[in-house]
Structure formats: C-alpha cells, structure tokens
Amino acid sequence: MFSETVQPSAYESRKAWLDHLTEIGRSHGFFERLGQHHSALYVQEGSTLLVTFDEAGRVYRQTKDGLPLGFDAVQRREWSLLNIMASGQSWFRDANLYRFFDRLVDEDFFDDFDQVIFLGAGPMCGYAACAYSVVSPGARVLSLSPAATLDREDAPFEMRFRAARRLNFNDRYGYAPYMLEGAEQATIVYDPHEPLGAAHAALYRGPNVQRVPMRWCGINLYPILESDGAIDRLVQATARGNLRPLRFAQITRNTRRNYPPYLFRLMTRALEKGHPDLARKVAVHGAKVTDDPRFAEQLKASEQVSEPAGVT
C-alpha cells in the first residue's frame, strides 16, 4: 500500500514536483508524459480502478500534498488510480492522448479490473471524464459541472473559454454525451441556477444518465464537496451503485449547511429577493457554524434596520 505524502514545502520547483510523481509511477505503476500538454500517472493497487482528470496547475499550486484528484482512494481503500493531468486549458483534446487510450484498450488494460469509475470536476475535467469513459464499457461516471462540448453548433450558448473554442470537438471523443452510451451509469451534478452549466447538463441525456441538481453552489462544485470529504463518499456511493438523488442529498446535507460560500450565497440571494427574515436565519446559522465575519456583519446590519426610530 502506498502511503507516502509530501508537504508543499518539499517542492523547490515544479520540476521537483514532477520528479516526485515520476518516482511514484516508477515504484507503483507508471508516469508518462503524453506530448507537451498531458501526463498520465498510474498507481496499481486493487481491483477497482478510479480514472480521474485534473489540471496540473491546480495540483501543483492548490493541493496540500501535490497529489492529483483521486489519490486518496489509493491511500484509504487501496484502489488503483489512473490520473490524466492537463497543462493549461487543453480540454484533453490531443492526438497523443487519443493514442494513449488506444494503447490501453489494445492491451485490455481496463478489462483487468472488476470495476472502473471515471471522475472529473469542473467544465473541462468533468467533460473529459464523460468523454473518455467510452474506452471502458460498463464503467460508472461521476462528473461535476461538466461541459458537453465547446463546438459552436452544439453549444452556441457557450461564451466562456474563447481560446478553447478554437479546438476541434468534432473528431474522436468530441461530444461527451454520446460517449456515455456504454456506461453503466453516469451522474451529472450541476447547479441549475448557473445558466451555462445547466445548459450543458441538459445535453446529457439517456436511460443511464441522471442529472442531480446542487442548487446555489456555483459552477465550481469541487471545493464544497471536498471541504468535508463528501466527494469521497460520493465516489464510494458511485462504486456501490447506489448514488441516487436521495443518497446524494443525504451525503451533501451537512456539507451545504457548513460551507461558508454556500451559506453566504443563500443569504445574499434571500436579501436580493426581499426576504430579510430568511436572510437573518441563514446569517444566524452561518455565524454559529463558521468563522466567516460576513454573517455577524449581516446580523448587525439587520438589527440596526429593525430598531425603532427614536422618539423626539
């Protein structure tokens, strides 16, 4: 079982970080550079394979241990991990990556596992998790706020990611919803109050696809789900085949109730809609369970508004 962790202070440079990933791969599987924009880290452990997609910049700058999405599954449950990292906004559209997955399919790589799960968070990585799941028929997919495509005809509403819209989304693995046809189950988590994210989610359809709303949580769902380990519980539920909307709500209930940005968004929305009493209730709860000073400030402001005018 691989258990080594390295603190960020141990990385003197990006090269040192990559050298560490190379050593992990050399000792427990492989680490390969796939052209200029992608890399693959494989850690062989158990009979369940978690395939994740991540951004190199996020892993290097924002994680405590410099390890990519899904590595905790290796450490906690001895699952195997295949992580694909993108350097920059590549959207995983690269012939080198296509050839890499072709090779794995030719070698029956995915057939060696009892279960395969694809995981991605955010428009780009969530898209990739759905798109590349086609290489392992029968896999399960958990995708957070994925884009469906950036092709102008299929997603004319998409005005973000202007540079990436020049990429070709009409060749292999291009339209992610079609790539899910062979999956056992795919769960698409999205915020229905984010118009662009909801528009992409609506393109994911099929008897094996379930769209699960996570209201008022924004387009970047990973931080809230990672904050108290909910993402790990969701992956476990995906592995067990019991991740349904009710189970999702049960897993994320405390997460939502204790995450400051989510509570602040609820409070702000209540104020915008003219519901000061509801905003106050959210502020009372937020002040109690978080250290965010904005809730105390809102309580103070609401008290000043509610004070009766002085008698002269």
CB atoms inside a 10 Å sphere around CB 287: 18
3-state SS class at 306? helix
What would the pLDDT profile of 278-294 be if each residue is shown by its tens digit?
Answer: 999 999 999 999 989 99
CB 102 within 8 A of CB 73: no
The CA distance from 72 to 106, in Å, is 28
Strands (E), 56-103: 80-86
* Helices and strands (H and E) in the chain: how many: 13, 8
Mean pLDDT along residues 290-304: 88
Domain locations in the chain as residue ranges: 8-257, 261-306
Q: Residue 4's closest CA among 33, 26, 37, 36? A: 26
Q: Tell me: pLDDT of 2 over 70.
A: no
The CA distance from 279 to 302, in Å, is 9
What residues contact residue 274 under an 8 Å CB cut-off, 6+ apart?
A: none
What would the pLDDT profile of 170-226 be if each residue is shown by its tens digit?
Answer: 999 999 999 999 999 999 999 999 999 999 999 999 999 999 999 989 899 999 999
What residues contact residue 137 under an 8 Å CB cut-off, 6+ apart?
A: 182, 183
3-state SS class at 277? helix
Percent of the chain topping pLDDT 70:
94
The pLDDT assigned to 311 comes to 41
Mean pLDDT along residues 50-79: 92
Query: For the chain, what is the mean pLDDT?
Result: 92
The pLDDT assigned to 33 comes to 96
The CA distance from 35 to 159, in Å, is 28
The pLDDT assigned to 312 comes to 38
What would the pLDDT profile of 233-269 be if each residue is shown by its tens digit?
Answer: 999 999 999 999 999 999 999 998 999 989 998 999 9
Q: Which residue has the higher pLDDT, 12 or 216?
A: 216
SS3 of the chain: helix, strand, coil, percent, to 5: 45, 15, 35
Q: Which residue has the higher pLDDT, 89 or 10?
A: 89
The CATH T-level fold of domain 8-257 is Rossmann fold (3.40.50)
